[in-house]
């Protein structure tokens, strides 16, 4: 079965492809000839995921899924949240985003945070959503070189290392994206592919 993953982010494709069971062939936006920037104008993480899935389904006709992820920090009233990728500006610089986050948290005692991923799936004429949460803390300085985004400063609950210090195989067992993806996979498996 062919399913489009509506993202231009090759890191996300790599992470999710590693979790997909045999029998599901993931197609990237590039492979279906979609090179435009898909709008993400919703004020919520859920809304952005649905907006991207709707766009691909309506314009290209494929069954597809899209995700959106945000880092929600308690002491910042849930920020950066839906604005995680462009927290420090429209250029979407991970380094600048991390710098801004660490500066905002400088005098905060509560460093608890959670990553939230929502996957929206258009499948056989219906829309489904799946949500994955990974709770943890924002540490004081960057550690590790794996992963992307806020991974160097996010330490998941119960772990002594950041996402950026973990191998992909370890991160894929506990991450927000892995949890939402597992729900997606379980749903697809239940449809008797």
Annotated binding site for substrate: which residue ranges?
Answer: 7-12, 69, 148-151, 171, 176-177
Feature table: binding site: 7-12, 68-69, 148-151, 171, 176-177
- Report CA torsion sign: 127, 73, 42, 52: negative
Instruction: Please return the burial class of 95, using the count of CB atoms within 10 Å of its CB with bins 0-12, 13-18 and 19+.
Output: exposed
Binding site per annotation, positions for Mg(2+)? 68
* Three-class SS state of 150: coil
Catalytic-labelled residue, pool 54, 63, 67, 68: 68
Distances (CA, A) of 123 to 89, 128, 135: 34, 8, 29
Please say if 110 is a catalytic residue.
Answer: no
Q: What are the residue numbers of the active site?
A: 68
């Amino acid at each position: 079965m062919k399913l489009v993953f509506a993202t231009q982010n090759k890191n996300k494709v790599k992470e999710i492809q590693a979790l997909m069971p045999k029998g599901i062939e993931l197609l990237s936006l590039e492979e279906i000839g979609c090179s435009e920037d898909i709008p993400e104008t919703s004020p919520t993480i859920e809304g952005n995921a649905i907006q991207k899935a709707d766009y691909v389904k309506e314009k290209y006709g494929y069954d597809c899924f899209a995700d959106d992820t945000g880092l929600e920090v308690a002491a910042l009233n849930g920020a950066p949240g839906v604005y995680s990728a462009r927290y420090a500006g429209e250029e979407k610089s991970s380094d600048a985003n991390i710098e801004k986050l660490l500066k905002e948290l400088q005098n905060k005692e509560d460093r608890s945070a959670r990553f939230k991923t929502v996957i929206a799936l258009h499948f056989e004429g219906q829309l489904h959503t799946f949500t994955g949460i990974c709770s943890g803390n924002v540490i004081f300085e960057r550690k590790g070189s794996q992963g992307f985004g806020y991974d160097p400063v996010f330490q998941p609950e119960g772990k002594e290392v950041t996402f950026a210090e973990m191998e992909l195989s370890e991160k894929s067992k506990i991450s927000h994206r892995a949890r939402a993806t597992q729900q997606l996979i379980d749903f697809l498996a239940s449809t008797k592919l």
